Structure 1
Amino acid sequence: MSVAVFTFGLNHASAPVSVRERVSLSADLLKPALAGLRAAFGGAVREAAILSTCNRTEIYCAAEAQAAETLPFWLAEHNRLDTDLLQPHLYRHDQDSAVRHAFRVASGLDSMVLGEPQILGQMKDAVRAADEAGSLGMLLHQLFQRTFSVAKEVRTQTAIGAQSVSMAAAAVRLSERVFGQLDQARVLFIGAGEMIELCATHFAARKPRSMMVANRTVERAESLAGRFGAHTMKLADLPDRLADFDVVVSCTASSLPILGLGMVERAIRQRRHKPIVMVDLAVPRDIESEVARLSDVYLYSVDDLGHVVQSGTDARRAAVVQAEAIIDTRVQGFMRWLQSREAVPVIHDLQQAAADVQAAELERARRMLARGESPEAVLEQLAHGLTQKYLHGPMAALNRSEGDERRQLLAMVPRLFPGKDARR
């Protein structure tokens, strides 16, 4: 069966964080997931890569159409979810639509924050994981190499990212809505990854009273804290220390919440109901959603921050139009390459058939020479045999055809078998 390019998954536009977090895959789970995917479908899924971030989980694959139809069921089963819960939030793109989607994602056009640059690095990490898992073949390799090239072209030739407001900047803005100036605020960062580093950079620019980093790996926490003049603490100390902080920004890879309702309620009582801003950038979420019910807590999820940064200017909208034009052109180029690949098996079979004819005729000529026949007669017979076999297929097809089929074949003959003028 023929193999085509497919993309399916969900993102911030199709699913709330409560659904996204249930299919999110951390980096260490990508390879096992890819192995499970290929084992489940066998040869029907030839190639696959999984992109999973806080805003999306997507599967890119080269697969047979029947396999693509059942991939959503695999995603639900792999994450122990009811398919009916997941299905309404899923989208699927085939062939040129899948290629366009990949190009738009890498270029930041499909992001919650228009033009944000982190997604390109996340996609490169996903491709690297697929390559290491042995699930990346020629087709997806070519797709992603062109994807990265398109993303670079879009960012170089347009202003798509020039005015983007990052999630980190949005976290600062929301904190300032509650506290005004942050020079007296005590800020706690839970985690030490790229997003926390971006947040620390933005908060440090406001010169808060103090900053603290809590992380499972002490070395990473100390490394990040050292860059911003912050302090470190153990995650185990959170229950006793949470009340000390006015702003809490969390983004870890934990599969379970780190801050529960009970812990936050105790902290609020210790703070004598002084407000606290909590920003949860993790998917799955680090802070139990029930915390939002507390009147003195301002809890913001990654979706909430996305709404803050979605407003666009005329300049950004113009950049989108320019970026889409670049992407349309590059999609057409990839599809032409893909169509050319469809002819490869036919060309290979044609070359093999010609080689078989050549070998048979040469063997026949050798036998004639061994019997003592004249070289001139052998050469004439060799030329005659090659010519007859060369023309047998086309002549037989023409003789069997009629009507429109014959007219089409006759029109193709001069192109497949050019006359002497064309061969000069």
Structure 2
Amino acid sequence: MSVDVLTFGLNHVSAPVAVRERVSFPMDVLKPALDGLRSAFGSSVKEAAILSTCNRTEIYCAAEPQVQEHLPSWLADFNSLEANSLQPHLYQYRRNEAVRHTFRVASGLDSMVLGEPQILGQMKDAVRAAEQAGALGTMLHQLFQRTFSVAKEVRSQTAIGTQSVSMAAAAVKLAERVLGDLSQANVLFIGAGEMIELCATHFAAVQPKSMTVANRTLERAEVLATRFVAKTMKLSDIPDKLADYDVIVSCTASTLPILGLGMVERVTRARRHKPMVMVDLAVPRDIETEVGRLADVYLYSVDDLGRMVQSGTDARRAAVVQAEAIIDTRVQHFMHWLQTRAVVPAIIDFQQAADQVRENELDRARRMLARGDAPELVIEQLAHGLTQKYMHGPLAALNRTENDERKQLLNLLPRLLPRVDRRR
């Protein structure tokens, strides 16, 4: 059965963060998930990769077409969810549409922040994880290599990445909207990954009173803190020190909330109800949603920031048309490669059959020479034998067919015959 490129999943457009966090795959779960996917579908799934970020969870497959209808159930089962709960939020693409979607994602055209560059690095991490899990083969390897090339081409030849309004910049604006001047604000960053680093860069630019990085391991926190002359603390120290901070930005890989309602309620009382801004960029979320109901806490999720940054993308939308044109061309190139690859087995079989005919006729010619037949006669018999053998298949097919099928063969026949150089 034929193998197709399939893409399946959900993103910030199709599903709210409350749904996305339920199907998020932390990096240490990717290999078990890929193993489970291939085990569930057996040889029907030849290759696979999983991309999981705060804005999307997507599965890329080289698989037999019937796999597509069963992927939603697998995703729900793996995450212990009812299949019906995910169905309204899922999208599926096949063949050229799957390739186009992959190219658009890597190029930042499908991002919450149009043109944002982080998604390309996240996709490369996903591909690396799939390679380490032994889940990549020729088809997806080729797809992703071309994907990275397309993303680079889009970024270098269009203005899609200029005037970027990032999530990190939006976090600063939201904090200023609530607290005003941040020069007297104490800022706490929970986590030490790429998103926290971006946020720390933007907050440092407005020169808050102090910045602190809290992380599970102090070593990573200290590496980041050194860049911004910030303090560090362990996650376990947060309950005792949270009241000292006016702005909290959290983005960790924790599967459970780090800041709960009870803890934050105690903190607001200790602060005498002085307002706090909390920005939760994690999926699954680091801060319990109930915290947002507290009168003195301004809690923003990744979706809240996404809505804010949409207004800043107008200057880049003109580049989208140009980017889409580049992607359309590259999709055609990949599909041509895919189609060419599909006929390779037939070409090999044809070549092997031709080689066998040649060997048989050569053996016959050698026997004739060994018994003393004239070389001219042997050469003539060899040429005649090869000609008859090569002509037999097309002529037999013509004799067996009628009407439209015969017309089609007659139209193809001149293209299949060898060209004769009459100058020789």
TM-score range, shorter chain: over 0.9
Per the alignment, residue 404 of structure 1 pairs with: 404
Correspondence 1:8-19 to 2 at 5 A: 8-19=8-19
Deviates more, 1:405-414 or 1:250-259: 405-414
Per the alignment, residue 280 of structure 1 pairs with: 280
Counterpart Cα distance in 2 of 1:5 and 1:186: 49
- 2:303 maps to a residue whose letter is D
CA drift of 1:371 comes to: 4.7
Counterpart Cα distance in 1 of 2:311 and 2:147: 26
3-state SS of 1:15 partner: coil
Counterpart Cα distance in 1 of 2:76 and 2:129: 21
CA drift of 1:385 comes to: 2.3
CA drift of 1:422 comes to: 7.6
Correspondence 1:43-192 to 2 at 5 A: 43-192=43-192
Asked if 1:210 is matched to 2:210, the reply is yes
- Point out where structure 2 has 5 or more consecutive residues left out of the alignment: none
Per the alignment, residue 393 of structure 1 pairs with: 393
Cα pair 2:150 2:330 within 8 Å, conserved = yes
3-state SS of 2:310 partner: coil
CA drift of 1:272 comes to: 1.0
Q: Could you give the per-residue CA deviations for residues 189-243 of structure 1, whole angstroms, max 9, x where no partner exists?
A: 0000000000001111111111111101110001111110110111111111111
3-state SS of 1:332 partner: helix
Correspondence 1:299-338 to 2 at 5 A: 299-312=299-312, 314-338=314-338
Per the alignment, residue 201 of structure 1 pairs with: 201
Counterpart Cα distance in 2 of 1:284 and 1:405: 59
Cα pair 2:113 2:313 within 8 Å, conserved = no
CA drift of 1:20 comes to: 0.5
Counterpart Cα distance in 2 of 1:198 and 1:97: 33
So what's the TM-score if we normalise by structure 2? 0.96
Deviates more, 1:29-38 or 1:413-422: 413-422
The 3 A distance-change label for structure 1 pair 286 and 419 is closer
The 3 A distance-change label for structure 1 pair 423 and 70 is farther
Cα pair 2:250 2:286 within 8 Å, conserved = yes
The 3 A distance-change label for structure 1 pair 356 and 418 is closer
Per the alignment, residue 233 of structure 1 pairs with: 233
3-state SS of 1:278 partner: strand
- Point out where structure 1 has 5 or more consecutive residues left out of the alignment: none
CA drift of 1:132 comes to: 1.7
The 3 A distance-change label for structure 1 pair 78 and 423 is farther
CA drift of 1:369 comes to: 4.3
CA drift of 1:30 comes to: 1.3
CA drift of 1:414 comes to: 1.2
The 3 A distance-change label for structure 1 pair 312 and 167 is closer
Deviates more, 1:321-330 or 1:171-180: 321-330
Counterpart Cα distance in 2 of 1:62 and 1:326: 24
Asked if 1:381 is matched to 2:377, the reply is no
- 1:206 maps to a residue whose letter is V
Counterpart Cα distance in 2 of 1:313 and 1:14: 20
CA drift of 1:319 comes to: 1.1
3-state SS of 1:6 partner: strand
Per the alignment, residue 246 of structure 1 pairs with: 246
- 1:18 maps to a residue whose letter is A
Counterpart Cα distance in 1 of 2:328 and 2:116: 20
Q: CA RMSD in A?
A: 1.6
- 2:194 maps to a residue whose letter is E
Per the alignment, residue 28 of structure 1 pairs with: 28
Q: Could you give the per-residue CA deviations for residues 292-312 of structure 1, whole angstroms, max 9, x where no partner exists?
A: 111111110100000010114
The 3 A distance-change label for structure 1 pair 313 and 80 is closer
- 2:385 maps to a residue whose letter is G
The 3 A distance-change label for structure 1 pair 398 and 159 is same
Q: Could you give the per-residue CA deviations for residues 55-77 of structure 1, whole angstroms, max 9, x where no partner exists?
A: 00001111111112211111111
CA drift of 1:384 comes to: 2.5
- 2:26 maps to a residue whose letter is S
Give the percent of matched residue pairs that are identical in Structure 1 and Structure 2: 77
Counterpart Cα distance in 2 of 1:170 and 1:359: 73
Counterpart Cα distance in 2 of 1:353 and 1:134: 35
Counterpart Cα distance in 1 of 2:250 and 2:88: 29
3-state SS of 1:108 partner: coil
The 3 A distance-change label for structure 1 pair 355 and 418 is closer
Per the alignment, residue 350 of structure 2 pairs with: 350
The 3 A distance-change label for structure 1 pair 313 and 132 is closer
The 3 A distance-change label for structure 1 pair 422 and 56 is farther
The 3 A distance-change label for structure 1 pair 423 and 324 is farther
Structure 1 runs, 4 residues or longer, greater than 6 Å off? none
3-state SS of 1:343 partner: helix
Asked if 1:264 is matched to 2:264, the reply is yes
3-state SS of 2:20 partner: helix
Paired residues in the alignment total: 424
